[in-house]
A and B are shown apart, each in its own frame.
Chain A
């Protein structure tokens, strides 16, 4: 699908929500003045977009592994939690957070090599569903081991980002500016950098070409001399480091706790929107889900008693599954009969 169509669709969708809300407002006691405040609307959208980048960070890890092995990695959420726990663990020893980050990255690479050796290697050429089941096993192992080593208390992860909201975009258009959470801004910048790097990795490097080859056909990849095991270890390492970044970002805003492994569930609709195989798709999907659910919550929420945020993304995903199952940027499935 071309970019223009997508842009028009997304923008009109976002604009439609408050308009629908405006016409429905008579049904409730909602304060109609918010529908006319342009700066408020802008703030809601930007907040949603920033939240969306946080979702996208988690979704990225899924995309990486799906691209290189066509399996849905159920354990991605557990990897996020495990990575964040490892980093907090190192920081509790009094290590500076940057060093702790590097060490936790090392731990994730080690985990990746272990997974390749113990779980994936015996399962070369098995159907994808078997590998998927194996990742469910990895989920429980990582979850259990992580909590055994570091305990199950909620831990604060402080990497020196201020908790004070900052006022941004103050100008003639927005006289009051908008209040933004610094953590989310940092996450947005980091997310953008990671996507750029990974997109370049897949598109322009020989490792990227090898990764795509492995995802398509194991046997053919072996026959042109791609060492499958090395490639898998690399992919899981990169996915582990992506999980670490997501863990740091989510951990510093929510605290490091078991529920981090469940934010993976929010990444699912993001993947369905963006397409399982597209790295830019993960980001765009995240942005759409983030902005959509914020705008929906604020402008439609009062009509139905709130909590739209909890289900909006899944409903959007369902609509996509009905009309565009490969997502916005996914590869179209061509079946020859």
Chain B
């Protein structure tokens, strides 16, 4: 149980901040190994993410950080090991099912729908929250499928007519998106096609789309890459606010050590696909292995 104990937080001035309270592990990865042909991307990785925690994954380039996120949200299927999410043990999962169970993510190279407006991009995050759109989760064809398609067809007609319950539904979803737009301060780019936005704003729209999914676990892949200091500060503030106001658990990959040490509760360090260290920012900072990996050692 010691491992799950909340770390004591203290800021640089030594003033104690209000103690952060975490719940049970939301996600536990256990002995995950992933390889592509002969290349071992991840070897025996185990760690957990507690509810309401901000968990950073750091490491040099090629350490396997993004692969780890891809395993968690189902893009990659590990050869060994298990993932326990909300008490369900699994070895692999389809990405849209991960999304349906509350795992949202952003990408290292912004992956937005470039032809659509900001608002439409955020609305795609609501797709799963709209009634009826959910595809049956089993691959077996049965009554479930038939009913789901039947209901879908009926639903589809009323949507085409933009009529009845669907009109209300659209308005309801739209108003949720507006809340997120306000929250992330992107009101003025609502109707702009995202392909035209500067990089920093695109990253923010991507975060907005992920938030629209009302995720329980938010995976952020280098949310601050390519940003200037001011944009980084904004983004850090948003990450902390999301964690605080929505209670969202966050796992983030980031190269900016200042940011990582400031905002994360616990840090796991990967190097060459292996786990190097795991602990509070202070513990990790003073870990000899981590220092060696980052600064290099003379052999």
- B100-126 to A contact mask, C-beta < 8 Å, 1/0: 100011010001111110001001110
Q: A204-B159, A213-B116 are in contact. Are A223 and B104 (CB under 8 A)?
A: yes
Contacts of A218-235 to chain B: CB distance below 8 A: 219-228, 230
Q: Do B111 and A205 touch across chains, with their CB atoms under 8 A apart?
A: no
Cα(A224)–Cα(B210), bound, Å: 7
Distance A210 CA – B133 CA, assembled complex (angstroms) = 10
A residues 196-241 touching B (CB-CB < 8 Å): 197, 200-201, 204-207, 209-210, 212-213, 215-217, 219-228, 230
Does B246 make an interface contact (CB < 8 A)? no
Return the 5 tightest CB-CB contacts between A and B, nearest first: A225-B99, A220-B111, A216-B113, A222-B95, A205-B159
Residues in chain A near residue B96, CB distance under 8 A? 222, 225-228
- Within the complex, the shortest CB–CB distance from B175 to chain A, in Å, comes to 16
Out of A201, A209, A219, A227, name the residue touching B124 (CB < 8 Å).
Answer: A209
**Residue from A205, A226, A228, A230 within 8 A of B160 (CB atoms):** A205
Q: Are the CB atoms of B195 and A224 closer together than 8 Å?
A: no
Minimal beta-carbon separation of A124 from chain B (angstroms): 11
Instruction: Say which residue of B113, B162, B196 sits within 8 Å of A212 (CB atoms).
Output: B113
Cβ-defined contact, A209 with B120, below 8 A: yes
Q: Which residues of A contact B100 (CB under 8 A)?
A: 225
- Bound: A239/B179 CA distance, A: 37
8 A Cβ contacts from A180-203 to B: 197, 200-201
Contact across chains for B120 and A223 when beta carbons are under 8 A apart: no
Across the interface, which residues of A come within 8 angstroms of B159, CB to CB? 204-207
Kindly state whether residue B75 has any CB partner on chain A within 8 Å.
yes
B63 touches A (CB below 8 Å): no
Looking at chain A, what size class is its interface with the partner chain?
A: 20 to 34
What distance in Å separates the Cβ of A179 from its nearest Cβ neighbour in chain B? 36
Q: Across the interface, do A210 and B127 meet the contact criterion of CB distance under 8 Å?
A: yes
Does any Cβ of A come within 8 Å of B213's Cβ? yes
* Contact A216–B116 (Cβ < 8 Å): yes
B115 touching A216, Cβ below 8 Å: yes
20 A-B pairs, CB-CB below 8 angstroms? A197-B160, A204-B162, A206-B127, A206-B130, A207-B159, A209-B127, A210-B133, A215-B115, A216-B116, A217-B111, A219-B111, A223-B105, A224-B99, A224-B128, A224-B210, A225-B95, A225-B98, A225-B127, A225-B128, A228-B96
Which B residues lie within 8 Å of A222 (CB)? 75, 95-96, 99
* A220 in contact with B112 (CB, 8 Å): yes
Q: How far is the CA of A217 from the CA of B210 in the complex (A)?
A: 15
Q: Within 8 Å CB of A227, what residues of B? A: 94, 96, 135
A220 and B213 contact, Cβ closer than 8 Å, known pairs A206-B159, A210-B124, A213-B116? no
Asked whether A223 and B160 contact (CB < 8 A) given A209-B123, A210-B124, A212-B116, the answer is no
Q: Out of B75, B125, B130, B170, name the residue touching A224 (CB < 8 Å).
A: B125
User: In whole Å, how far is B189's beta carbon from the nearest beta carbon of chain A?
Assistant: 15
**Residue A331 lies at the interface, judged by CB distance under 8 Å to chain B:** yes
Contacts A222-B75, A224-B128 given; indicate if A216 touches B114 (C-beta within 8 A). yes
Q: How far is the CA of A9 from the CA of B195 in the complex (A)?
A: 29
Complex Cα spacing A220 to B221, Å: 13
Q: Which residues of B contact A (CB under 8 A)?
A: 73, 75, 94-96, 98-100, 104-105, 107, 111-116, 120, 123-125, 127-128, 130, 133, 135, 156, 159-160, 162, 170, 195-196, 209-210, 213
At the interface, yes or no: A334 with Cβ under 8 Å from chain B?
yes
Q: Which residues of B contact A212 (CB under 8 A)?
A: 113, 115-116, 120
CA distance A334 to B114 in the complex (A): 10
Which of chain A's residues have a CB closer than 8 A to the CB of B133? 206-207, 210
Residues of chain A contacted by B124 (CB below 8 angstroms): 209-210, 213, 221, 224, 226
Quick one: closest B residue to A198, CB to CB? B160
A224 touches B209 (CB 8 A): yes
Q: How far is the CA of A222 from the CA of B93 in the complex (A)?
A: 12
Measured CA separation A331–B128 after assembly (Å): 27
Query: What separation, in Å, do the CA atoms of A204 and B171 have in the docked complex?
Result: 12
Candidates B73, B114, B115, B123; contact of A223 at CB < 8 Å: B73
Given known A-B contacts A200-B160, A209-B124, A212-B116, A223 and B111 have beta carbons under 8 A apart: yes
Q: What B residues does A277 contact at CB under 8 A? A: 115
Asked whether, in the complex, the Cβ of B195 is within 8 Å of the Cβ of A334, the reply is yes
Contact of B99 with A334 in the complex, beta carbons under 8 Å: no
Q: Which residues of A are found within 8 Å of B213, using beta-carbon distances?
A: 224-225
Which residue of chain B has the shortest Cβ distance to A228 in the bound complex? Answer: B96
Q: How far is the CB of A96 from chain B (nearest CB, A)?
A: 23
What CA separation (Å) do A140 and B13 show in the bound complex?
A: 73
Residues of B within 8 A of A224 (CB): 99, 104, 124-125, 127-128, 209-210, 213
Residues of B within 8 A of A204 (CB): 159-160, 162, 170
Chain B's closest residue to A220 (CB) is B111
| Contact residues in B for A331 (Cβ distance below 8 Å) | 115
Q: Which of B95, B156, B162 has most chain A Cβ within 10 Å?
A: B95
A213 CA to B117 CA in the complex, in Å? 11
**Cα separation A227 to B135 with both chains bound (whole Å):** 7
Which residues on B sit within 8 Å (CB–CB) of A217? 111-114
Q: How far is the CA of A95 from the CA of B115 in the complex (A)?
A: 45
Cα A206 to Cα B94 with chains together (Å): 21
| Chain B residues whose CB sits within 8 angstroms of the CB of A206 once the complex forms | 127, 130, 133, 159
* Complex alpha-carbon distance, A277 and B114, angstroms: 14
- Chain A residues with Cβ below 8 Å from B162 are 200, 204
- Say yes or no: A220-B156 contact (C-beta < 8 A), given A204-B162, A227-B135, A334-B195: no
